[in-house]
Structure 1
């Protein structure tokens, strides 16, 4: 794969930044694409732009504001609380987001001659989002190939990793501290370790604590 070109779906968060570094190790040429869907925290786009600039990766920001209009959720509306009730999807779920992100990434990939698309979706530590499941990714991969008569391969390096294992991968790539300090995962729009109370921060911290504890245990 090293001689080929890849597009990374990039939000500037822990997962997609880890995937960006993974892609840089596996492909000769890497680009990143970020989607502006009028999310509450514009800092997300700024963080993605800054990381791409630091890594000297070509970066495209695409306007998907229609998604905001069609799918109101806690990530786009300040009047919707971040919560998850038993038996329901969290209010942070955005209908069709990964479907649209990957479809537009595929269009961009074809225009730029890339056949590989990388996304940080994960079925192990996820909030029940249906568009993070492996079966969805495999289905969409087939659909995109048929729709554009072009051989895409969607890569999901984190699909079967829990958050501790995702931190381990970042460490193996030599970028654990970079990912910890430079990325934005927090639903409340706070960089690095975040607010410490939203579901995204709690999951991120739990994984980091587990990995660092395991790493320390190995040393002893």
Structure 2
């Protein structure tokens, strides 16, 4: 795949940045596409832009704020609390987000001559989001190919990794410190280790702690 192009669906967070490093190792040319969907913290887009600039990859932002005309959720509305009640989707779920993002990423990929799409979704650590499941990704891959008469391949390097596994992957890619220091995962818009209290920060930081303990014990290489 070294002579092929790839497009990374990129938010500037831990997962997509790890995927970006993975793409840079596996493809000859890499571009990123970031989506402005009215997220609570526009800092996310600027973090993504800075990372793309630093790593020397193409960066494109697409306006997807139309999502907010159709639904309300805690990622786009500051007046909605971040909650995760048992048996219900978390309030941070944005209906149709990955469906739309990957569809538009495919259109962009086609425009620049790429058939490879990379996304950081994970069924192991997906917070209950239905559009992070492997079955959805495989189904969408077929639909995109039929709809556009192309042979896209959606790559999901993190699909079967928990957060400790994602940290292990970033370490193996030589990007552990970069991901630790320069990404933004926090729901409160605080880079690096974040606020430490929101669900995203807890997942990220507990995963790092678990990985470092395993590494120190020699459980991982």
What range describes the TM-score normalised by the shorter chain of this pair? over 0.9
Separation of aligned partners in 2, 1:158 and 1:147: 26
Following superposition of structure 1 onto structure 2, how do residues 66-215 of structure 1 map, counting pairs within 5 Å?
A: 66-215=66-215
Is the 1:121–1:156 contact (alpha carbons within 8 Å) kept by the matching residues of 2? yes
Is the 1:39–1:68 contact (alpha carbons within 8 Å) kept by the matching residues of 2? no
Instruction: Give how far 1:126 is off.
Output: 1.6
Deviations 1:42-68 (A, max 9, x none): 000000000000001000000001012
Instruction: Give how far 1:72 is off.
Output: 1.0
Instruction: Give how far 1:125 is off.
Output: 1.1
The range that moved more, 136-145 or 71-80, is 71-80
Structure 2 gap ranges (5+): none
Name the structure 2 match of 1:38.
38
Name the structure 1 match of 2:25.
25
Instruction: Give how far 1:86 is off.
Output: 1.1
Separation of aligned partners in 1, 2:137 and 2:84: 24
1:4 is the counterpart of 2:7: no
Instruction: Give how far 1:153 is off.
Output: 0.1
Instruction: Give how far 1:103 is off.
Output: 0.1
SS at match of 1:218: coil
Is the 1:16–1:119 contact (alpha carbons within 8 Å) kept by the matching residues of 2? yes
Following superposition of structure 1 onto structure 2, how do residues 47-62 of structure 1 map, counting pairs within 5 Å?
A: 47-62=47-62
Structure 1 gap ranges (5+): none
Instruction: Give how far 1:135 is off.
Output: 0.1
Deviations 1:21-53 (A, max 9, x none): 000000000000000011110000000000000
**Equivalent residues, number:** 219
Is the 1:164–1:211 contact (alpha carbons within 8 Å) kept by the matching residues of 2? yes
TM-score using structure 1 length:
0.99
Post-superposition, which runs of at least 4 consecutive aligned residues in structure 1 deviate over 4 A? none
TM-score using structure 2 length:
0.98
Separation of aligned partners in 2, 1:160 and 1:10: 19
Separation of aligned partners in 1, 2:78 and 2:147: 37
Separation of aligned partners in 1, 2:68 and 2:50: 24
SS at match of 1:143: helix
